[in-house]
Structures are given as C-alpha cells and as structure tokens.
Amino acid sequence: MDDLVRGSGVALITPFTKGDIDYKTLAKLVDMHVENSGSIIVAGTTSEAATLTDEEYHSIVKFVIDRVNKRIPVIAGAGSNCTQTSINKSKFCEESGADGLLIVTPYYNKTTQRGLINHFRMIAESTNLPIIIYNVPGRTGMNIEPKTLLEISKIKNIVGIKEASGNISQVAEMIRICPRDFLVYSGNDDMVIPLMSLGGHGVISVVANMLPKETKKMVDDYKAGNIEMAREAQLLMNGIINALFIETNPIPIKEAMSILNMCSPEVRAPLYPMSIENRDKLIKEMDAYGIGVLSKTC
C-alpha cells in the first residue's frame, strides 16, 4: 500500500480574521507545506472543522485542493457522528479532487464496535478514495479496539489509521494483528518515533504547522535508518509539543504561529484565547527548542 501521508502530514489549521476564513494567509500556509510537508490534511480537528458552516467546509476543502494542485496529497476530513453526513462529505471531497479521506470515529452518540465496522464500511462503499480512519477517544468518547481494527482493515479502500489513543500497548497490538501493509500513523506528536519503532509509518501532525521541515526530517531520518538522529529530534521536540497541548488544540498552535507572525491567534467559540500564564509557558518552550522568541516578546 502506498504511503498516502508520505511520512509526515500536517493537520492544517484554519486561519481566521475577524470571524472569517483568512484565505490569503491560508494560501501562504499551503504553499509552505507543499515545500516542507509530505501531505496536507484539511478540515480535521486542528482545522476547527466542527465550527465551519457547510458552505465554509466546502469552500476550504476546494480551496486547499486547488491551491496544492496535485503537488502533494491532500487528505480531506469527512467524518461525522452521522454516517450519511460522512458519506455526503466523502462524495463531495472525491468530486473536488481530494487524494484521500480522514474519517473520525462517530462522536457523542457513539456506537458499538460492530456499529463502528458498519459505519466505516458504509462510507468506504460510497467512494473510491483511500480512507484513513481516525481513532481519538479523548475527543470522541469512542475507542477502536484492535480486533475491531482488524475487521475494518479488511475493507477494500480503508488503508490506514491515525491512532491517537495515547495507548502504546494498544498501538502495538494493532500493528501485531493487522496486515503489514495497513498504514498506522501517530496522531500524537510526542509518540511518533515510539510508534514507528513498532512498525508505524509516520505522523499526522499538529506541531508540523510551525515546524514542518523538522517534523518531516525526523520521520525521514527514522525511515532512512538514522535512528539516533530521529530519537534526538523527538526528545528535543517533546517540550514544545507538550506546550502545544497545555490547552485544547488548536488554541496553542495558533498562538505559537501568531508569535511567529504566521497567522492570527483567532479561534472560534467555544474555543477561547490562550491564557497569559500558558502563553508564557509556550514561549519559554519555543525558546528552549531554539526558535528564539523569548527576547522578542519580553
């Protein structure tokens, strides 16, 4: 199975200005990631897709696909807690030229493990695109069990999983029992190299929004056998990664990018601007990593 994410994919933010999508900044970010990331994931959690109107969702997916213009893969978030809504989104993304789909587990109403299999099967049968499913129980209240993933992995065009349970034992069991060509990506930036050491394939990353080149190099180094370099990169990056999750994602990553003049820190309600105390902690970790912002912000 081809690596749709190409090692390191960025879970792209949606820049806002005065409540509206800032397409000028979005274009700049997309161009940066075309040069430095393996793929772009649009309209996911980090994109604040839950607060996009239907019109905005359609617009931003189409904008990113057109801007990338097949230079790297674009994977579009098409998940929902309603199976039919996810099917409709998947069809739209396919018609718009997406290279793949990211489908999160149903949230709020949840389901059984058998229901999960049926949910993903129905979506997969509605599209020809390759699908990466997304397991993030901390957000959804719904965990994909390893034996359930094994059944899901048998569905023809479901090619991988973004695994963000934070449970390394579960990851190991998933990789142990699933086919070797089933792609397992870390959904946790602080666990990329541990997951790859078990046979994982890379990361769909939040920190790559501000450190795309460094994140991709870490993954590429591991794949090339430069294990010590990759390990050191992971350990060095973990301080800033921890700070990026001190408040709900994507609040901290937008704040960090704002400090670097990459975008506005604006998030949509119910998300709320970062506290001064946590912003100071974030700045210190950015400085410790070597970004050198502390003196500029004092």
Buried b (16+ CB within 10 A) or exposed e, 114-150: eebbebbbebbebbebbbbbbbbbebbebbbebebbb
Choosing from 57, 62, 89, 162, which is the catalytic residue? 162
Q: Is 28 a catalytic residue?
A: no
Helices (H) and strands (E) in the chain, counts: 13, 10
- 198: tokens are 């078990």
Q: Which two tokens stand for residue 32?
A: 């940066």
Neighbours of 258 (CB within 10 A): 16
The answer to whether 223 touches 195, Cβ cutoff 8 Å, is no
Residue 176 in tokens: 């142990």
Identify the active-site residue in 57, 62, 89, 134.
134
CB 116 within 8 A of CB 148: yes
- Cβ neighbour number for residue 20 with a 10 Å cutoff: 10
- Would you call 216 a catalytic residue per the annotation? no
Residues 6+ apart with CB under 8 A from 131: 90, 100, 101, 102, 103, 120, 123, 124, 157, 158, 159
- Phi and psi of 149, rounded to 5°? -60, -40
Residues designated catalytic? 134, 162
